Structure 1
Amino acid sequence: MSLSLPSLFEKVGKITFSKRWFVFFGFLILILVSMYGMTTITMYSGMDTYIQKDSKMYQDLDLYTRSFSNESVVIMIEGADVTDPAVLGASMRFTDMMTNVSGVDSVTSAAGIVEIMNERVTGRAEIPTTQEEVDALIELAPSVFSSLIYDDTHTLILVTYGNLTDTQKADILAATKDAVNFAGFPPKYNIIVTGNAALMGDMNVEMSSSMGILLFLAVVLMLVALVFVFKGVRWRLYPLAIVVMGILFTFGFMGFAGINMTMVSIAAFPILIGLGIDYAIQFHNRIEEELRECETRREAVISTFKYMGPAVITALVVTCVSFISLLTSSIPMIQDFGKLLIIGCVCCYTAALFFGVLSVYFLDKLSEKLEIKKQTTGKPYKIQSFLLPKGSKKQQCVIDGAGNVLPASGVRVETEAPENIITATLNKTVTFTLKHKKIIFMVALITGALGFYADSTIPAETDTNKYIPQDMPALVDFYHMNTVMGGSDAINIMIVTEDIASPYVLKWMDEFGTYETQNQIYVLGADSIVNVVKEYNGGTIPDTEEEIRAIYDQLPAGTMEQYSRGNSMLLLNLQMGDAFSALPMESVKSFVALIREDITWHVLPPGTTATITGQSVPFTELMDSLLSGRVQQTMLGLLLVFFALLVIYRDFVKAFAPLITITLVIGWSGMIMYAFNIVYTPMTAVMGCMILGAGSEYSILLMERFYEEKGKGLSPIEAMRKTVKNTGIALVVSGITTTFGFLALTASAFGIISSFGIVTVINMLMTLLASFVIFPPLMLTFDGIKEKGLKGTILEFKEKIEHTLQNRKNSGATQ
């Protein structure tokens, strides 16, 4: 570590102490500002949380959505006979109500088409009164009704709207539910309001409530951890208040910066509580140590800034650098997740360093004043049970010319953390690991390598509906609709041409659709304007443009809008049932590639292009980038952390040693996911970066304290033992508390978050274990190499081998 950094923090500490009331009240004002900022945060679950807006995939999907697939609320009617005039009449009353709702573009239903057909046949724009008349109208053009009437017992109504805000969409959804209640559908008919719009609406509500529950649970679990683990320290629950302040600052920044809340960013806040408590505990533990050594609080504050500030900020930089790799993800919500983690870590560090340290200073000062008043008046104060200092009277300290904190006698008196079960266990662990380091290294390397191999076999979950709570009413209704309709997966092909009435284009669509249906096992049928045109022309496509346009003129406007836009765009849907959700990602990706190849081989008419898009197709690319990108992100994170440490320390050993421990834990993470049958999602795909960010701090803080103790003249082994005894307790407390915070994630109703929580909890425990089992002997080994130099180490190793061989030779000769 450069000498200038502790000096810088010492100066910051002096300024902070001199302006302590200004800093203290400044933070209180920031709390109020942040509370306002957090009220502007919005929940978002749209497609652009998965796909970059500037990508061709998104632009194709956006064009498809704007042209053919405006968002819609789906109303499914099921009962004895959905073509009953009474049902159709209720459907028209519903249509009339929804047409007048602000933001609604159109309402498409079988009843509306029946009314249009009846007007053309009889001149009356109304629903016929008899079932025979309705059946006759439907028989005139069955393909027009086929996309809305699945069978005699099920039909759909679509309420479509354009690009609206989440609030406007929620208003339309609420209006839809009200209109269903007031439309007067006959008894014994089940009316279900479903579709993606209802699903997203319910999911936004679920995200809001889920985040509150997770934050509350994380705080409660951390309280439990601090009560049972952080013993022997005054105000042991106070670090949690500091980290809550840091989270509040993060919320405020998020609101002012316009960062939306997604299902992934929900998980960032319990994670930040876990990471932030680490910073708060480290500063809290260090100022308590300084207050034990000297009575002068000013020097205790400055010393905490000088010795702990650089160590923790190094860990903070490494953590943030590892999260920077998340910003390279092709998935926007992963980028937002990375931004929140970086912003949150900085906010929590700032709150812990300035407000946290000053708070302990004020509490310590107040406790002394109360004790003096008690001695003067003889009257105890109830608050003293919380504030009363523990231990013997501390020594009066000063700061010498070199910036060292010394007692008045001129010799710094070192104190150690009180002995307890944690420090005793850590001492025994370090003794054991130093004695058996070769075996430990071998086992760690083998298991780490096996973990990386197991990781390469883990699949990805392609059905995004499985990310959300499976008992959510809107999802249950959505699954029910898909079960009834046989699944709604489709490959949508946009065909851009010079003339949508060209017989050559329609014949190409007919031939391609027939070929795919006959030759691709997963294609159940082809749906396009071609089906309607053939029905109106006796089963064939007309040979002239004029004949085709004459048929177009007879079709309802809703039918034309369903399959065409203007005079230049047509839509061909390859129906696939539920194939996308049932097939593995690799199979879906291969299938889409095969369709692209078929389009290439079936030469399009001149001036015509075909683009594969739709709601389902982009997720194949999403999951592919997820699986390939996660490895790149982890490798990038490792490189960034290494170079960051190299810049900070200007020492190869200090930069490289912490990475070995973390790399092993990343390998072990693959074994855990494989063993628990946990698949990759946008959340678990960032696990490597999470381990880097959350786990590297332990190794760095141990290394910082090791070199601090070694600089006082202790031998490497003695320095490591003292490091573990003095720093180990804080690391164990922060590690267990962090783990308890992450444990809250496992209780999430969102499967994408709960599975991530399970892996994170186990990984944090493994990181903590590796920090005290792998890192101490590794650090001593690297330090020995550094002291002797590479050449000296090789010569020593050579001498040991020669000595061993000579002993074996002598032993054989004796025998």
Structure 2
Amino acid sequence: MDYQRYIDWADDRIVNDSRRVVVTFLLVTVVFSAGLGSVSTNAGTSQFTTDLPAEEAFTRVNEEFSPTFSPDTGSTQLIQRETNVLSKPALLRMLESQHRVEQHASLRVTSTSSAASIVAQQLDPDASTTAQQIDAVESATSSEIDAAVRSAAEESPRFTSLLSTDFNRRSASASATIGVVTHEVPAGISSGSGQGGSSPLTSIQKQADFTIQSAAHGSITVFGSGIVAEEFSSVVVDSLILTVPAAVLFILLFLMIAYRDLADMALGLFALFMTVIWTFGFMGLAGIPFSQMLIAVPPLLLAVGIDFGIHAVNRYREERAEGESVATSMRITTDQLLVAFFIVTGTTVIGFAANLTSSLPPIQDFGYVASVGITFTFFIFGVFLPAAKVELDRLRQRYPIPTFSESPLGSEGSALGGVLRGGVVIAQRTPVVFLLIILVTTAGAGYYATGVSTSFTQEDFLPPEDNPDFVEALPEPFAPSDYTVTGVLNYLEDNFATTQSSQATVYVEGPMRQDSALEQMYRAGDDPPESFVREDGRADSTSIVTVIQDRAESDPEFRRLVERNDRNDNGVPDDNLETIYEYLLDSSSRERTLNYLSEDYRSARVVYTVESDASDSAVAADTRNVADDFRYQATATGSIVVFQAVADLIFESAIQSLAIALAGASMFLVLIYYVLEGRPSLGLANVVPVVVTVAWLAGTMRVLAIPFNALTATMLAITIGLGVDYSVHVTHRFADEYAENDLETALDRTVRGTGGALFSSMLTTVFGIGVLALAVFPAIGQFGILTALSIAYAFLSSLLVLPSVLVVWDRLLNAQGLFGDLFSFGETRRPEPIDGDD
């Protein structure tokens, strides 16, 4: 394939029509900028659960098992912490707080409940309102209150569930309790399992907090999904305020060192700015919302853009240092770098596009947007930047524009050039032994990395409980907000036995009128798995079966109806189920019945209580196994199951994208080096440092206890994309030098020229992206650490490992006999250099 004529055409446009190229790119930038205002946001965990069977079942459960035409509700928790929350003053503080929120119409309160209310009704059974309950407690003596507490503990299981685990019945004391306020809110917030980025409850709960503090004197904390949503938004904003200025400072500092010329640096920064504008403008025009996953895109564009910019300018300076003209220097530069940039872009796009195979929409969006953004980067830095540089230097020839330094990095005789030769020295002395050591350490790191955990929880999107001291010491506006959500969640987990996460649900679809329907539901609770709570040898569960049993205990007429239709005398009817259901729906048990049985008798739900210390993976697996025991179609669902399904998909996506990215990049490199150089095995040599980088990074994830989560799931594919960037520059430059020089000279010129640009690019991106580790949003911090490490590993493997790989490649390629012929894939020996070529 005669690809050179296309390169020559591009060279001509860049050098001879530079002004037209610059204007064209600026006009395209204006077009894409029009899409910036259309970029929407999509935050929280809910975006990851879309289209999952468990999530669809969870949504249907929420839609079907609620009273018809009832308004959507949301709840607020009132967490009271005192020396003894069951003392008279503490009970009055909780009741007064309940009473005050009930009086505010804007809070849309439909009901309140608490342990204090239960105690008050023990004192006065007729006290149905909070005002009456306050009177009951105020008129009671301390001994009467203690007796009422002990009586409530005996009669009401709900009472003890609202108290902390240190509740002492004898002394009638506990250190914490939870009150619940139920609100009527706009439709739709109570469905789904994920936490979105905003909530209609936010303003309600903020106002409730203001109302309660005056009554509770600081002893009650208001908590709920609205508070969580607000804090999530704050942590993202605070993270950006903290990290973006630091990243800009580091990038500017290292770009000044790399370019050592203000005009060139301004040109490189403007090209980076254009890349971001094009990418986000494209998102707006394409209707792709900005999510947590896409936080990773700007750093990636900066990493590749900085690398391309430094390489372009440094390569151009090498030719200018040889005395070539502006046009000739840029033609030589683009003639070589357009090919290198194309190879980097192709492999990087393959690495990112591998995420399109994921079943999770946010990861698919990341793969799509990152691929498009890297393509834009190729055109901006491969065409626009060289053309703009030509225009800049021509203006310098006519006008006194200041020029500070035009010398290339890593030039011969420089201290940096000597350091960069370390990999060449190893390659000259003991390449085989060195590669064997690398092989063993890489295999060990890869095996160790198999223990990396997977995580998908609400906490992945929340700040740490305590900010580092240096963060707290920062002045405004860099000082972060005071975060409370994580601390509250940890407190609830540590001090209360029952939480919302201690349940799992099975959604059953089938003809519930069929005689065997209830029997199979009942039998599913036999011999429960380890993670399920047992009661009398059976799974502790709530369903239409328990509704029937509870009704039969209190209603003699209904009990006789059940007994007439119970063939095996186990309390579960086997005949005339429709008659049973109709009786329940016509009774006071109607609302509870509809919580577990749909009105058309075509579906039902069974809620199982699970052990609080059981892992999410165990609960999810056991719930699926129980669901499989149903003869009807049954789906395991609930928050635990949905989140574990996402975690499983995250791990599957990470491994799948890694395999596809590696295979795709390898095939692309083999093909491209066959087309460009006639040496496909160079593509295989090119892949070796990438594999080393991926293994090292995955092993480091386990060392640092960083799991695959919503943001780090893409790191392995990203590592391939960024790792190939560095190794391609070295390999392609080596191929060009090897065509005119001997092996040692080719390696030496490669690491001095390309290595210098790689070193500056590495420092700039490592520090520029590494500052994300300062973010108070943990997922962003982990991503920043891993991205910085992946770039550092890619640089080290390209400069230390790749030279030895190329030496061994040369020995195998030029080996005599059958082995050498097979390995060369039909390649021919490089002709000996002509005298004077060096």
Scaled to the shorter chain, the TM-score interval is 0.7 to 0.9
User: What's the counterpart of residue 10 of structure 2?
Assistant: 12
Cα displacement (A) at 1:443:
0.6
User: What's the counterpart of residue 686 of structure 1?
Assistant: 714
**Is residue 2:786 matched to residue 1:759?**
yes
Kept after mapping to 1: 8 A contact 2:686/2:728: yes
Cα displacement (A) at 1:46:
4.1
Q: 1:611 to 1:12 in 2, by over 3 A?
A: same
SS at match of 1:774: helix
Partner residue of 2:309 out of 262, 280, 283: 280
Cα displacement (A) at 1:609:
4.8
Cα displacement (A) at 1:278:
0.7
Write out aligned runs for 1:364-763 (5 A).
Answer: 364-371=393-400, 384=401, 386-387=402-403, 417=411, 419-471=413-465, 472-486=483-497, 487-496=499-508, 516=528, 520=532, 525-528=540-543, 534-535=549-550, 537-538=552-553, 542=559, 543-544=561-562, 555=588, 562-563=595-596, 565-568=598-601, 569-576=603-610, 578-579=612-613, 583=615, 588-601=616-629, 609-650=633-674, 651-711=679-739, 713-763=740-790
Kept after mapping to 2: 8 A contact 1:141/1:536: no
Distance, in Å, in 2 between the alignment partners of 1:501 and 1:35 is 60
**Is residue 2:109 matched to residue 1:75?**
no
Q: 1:144 to 1:770 in 2, by over 3 A?
A: closer
Cα displacement (A) at 1:448:
1.0
For 1:61, give the aligned amino acid: F
Kept after mapping to 1: 8 A contact 2:531/2:619: no
Partner residue of 2:253 out of 224, 231, 254: 224
For 1:526, give the aligned amino acid: S
Tell me whether 445-454 or 186-195 shows the greater mean CA deviation: 186-195
Kept after mapping to 1: 8 A contact 2:730/2:750: yes
Tell me whether 64-73 or 235-244 shows the greater mean CA deviation: 64-73
Identity %: 19
Aligned residues: 741
Kept after mapping to 2: 8 A contact 1:699/1:771: yes
Kept after mapping to 2: 8 A contact 1:482/1:488: no
Q: What TM-score does the superposition give when structure 2 sets the normalisation length?
A: 0.76
Q: Which runs of 5+ in 2 are unaligned?
A: 67-71, 141-147, 168-173, 466-482, 563-576, 825-838
Summarize deviations over 1:640-679 as a string: whole Å, max 9, x none: 0122123323242122111112112222223323433433
SS at match of 2:264: coil
Distance, in Å, in 1 between the alignment partners of 2:673 and 2:95 is 76
Distance, in Å, in 2 between the alignment partners of 1:555 and 1:149 is 29
**Is residue 2:296 matched to residue 1:267?**
yes
Q: 1:50 to 1:305 in 2, by over 3 A?
A: same
Partner residue of 1:110 out of 105, 108, 113: 113
User: What's the counterpart of residue 357 of structure 1?
Assistant: 386
SS at match of 1:492: strand
For 1:690, give the aligned amino acid: I
SS at match of 2:215: coil
User: What's the counterpart of residue 381 of structure 1?
Assistant: none
Kept after mapping to 2: 8 A contact 1:460/1:627: yes
User: What's the counterpart of residue 339 of structure 2?
Assistant: 310
Q: 1:60 to 1:679 in 2, by over 3 A?
A: same
Tell me whether 122-131 or 297-306 shows the greater mean CA deviation: 122-131
Cα displacement (A) at 1:174:
1.1
SS at match of 2:180: strand
Q: 1:635 to 1:494 in 2, by over 3 A?
A: closer
Kept after mapping to 2: 8 A contact 1:144/1:559: no
Cα displacement (A) at 1:240:
3.5
Cα displacement (A) at 1:422:
1.3
Kept after mapping to 2: 8 A contact 1:367/1:389: no
User: What's the counterpart of residue 570 of structure 2?
Assistant: none
Kept after mapping to 2: 8 A contact 1:87/1:185: no
Kept after mapping to 1: 8 A contact 2:348/2:724: yes
Kept after mapping to 2: 8 A contact 1:528/1:563: yes
Cα displacement (A) at 1:87:
5.6
User: What's the counterpart of residue 59 of structure 1?
Assistant: 56
SS at match of 1:78: strand
Kept after mapping to 1: 8 A contact 2:506/2:635: yes
Distance, in Å, in 2 between the alignment partners of 1:347 and 1:720 is 31
User: What's the counterpart of residue 805 of structure 1?
Assistant: none
User: What's the counterpart of residue 24 of structure 1?
Assistant: 22
Q: Which runs of 5+ in 1 are unaligned?
A: 372-383, 392-413, 798-815
Cα displacement (A) at 1:639:
1.0
Distance, in Å, in 2 between the alignment partners of 1:330 and 1:221 is 37
Distance, in Å, in 2 between the alignment partners of 1:702 and 1:168 is 44
Summarize deviations over 1:484-524 as a string: whole Å, max 9, x none: 54332134324446788999766765675586499945899
Q: 1:41 to 1:561 in 2, by over 3 A?
A: farther
SS at match of 1:538: helix
Cα displacement (A) at 1:344:
2.2
Distance, in Å, in 2 between the alignment partners of 1:98 and 1:570 is 36
Q: 1:176 to 1:239 in 2, by over 3 A?
A: same
For 1:255, give the aligned amino acid: G
Distance, in Å, in 1 between the alignment partners of 2:369 and 2:494 is 39
Q: 1:522 to 1:461 in 2, by over 3 A?
A: farther
Kept after mapping to 1: 8 A contact 2:417/2:756: yes
Tell me whether 139-148 or 482-491 shows the greater mean CA deviation: 139-148
**Is residue 2:360 matched to residue 1:338?**
no
User: What's the counterpart of residue 809 of structure 2?
Assistant: 782
SS at match of 1:305: helix
User: What's the counterpart of residue 50 of structure 1?
Assistant: 48
SS at match of 2:444: helix
Distance, in Å, in 2 between the alignment partners of 1:522 and 1:461 is 28
Q: 1:609 to 1:107 in 2, by over 3 A?
A: farther
Q: 1:637 to 1:556 in 2, by over 3 A?
A: same
Cα displacement (A) at 1:423:
1.0
Tell me whether 262-271 or 11-20 shows the greater mean CA deviation: 11-20
Kept after mapping to 2: 8 A contact 1:34/1:248: yes
RMSD over equivalenced CA pairs, Å: 4.5
Cα displacement (A) at 1:446:
0.8
Summarize deviations over 1:52-73 as a string: whole Å, max 9, x none: x344233223323444597845
Kept after mapping to 1: 8 A contact 2:423/2:800: yes
SS at match of 1:625: helix
Kept after mapping to 1: 8 A contact 2:163/2:178: yes
User: What's the counterpart of residue 375 of structure 1?
Assistant: none
Partner residue of 2:39 out of 38, 41, 45: 41
User: What's the counterpart of residue 232 of structure 2?
Assistant: 203
Distance, in Å, in 1 between the alignment partners of 2:653 and 2:721 is 17
Tell me whether 544-553 or 315-324 shows the greater mean CA deviation: 544-553
For 2:7, give the aligned amino acid: F
Distance, in Å, in 2 between the alignment partners of 1:176 and 1:162 is 17
Kept after mapping to 2: 8 A contact 1:366/1:387: no
Cα displacement (A) at 1:425:
1.6
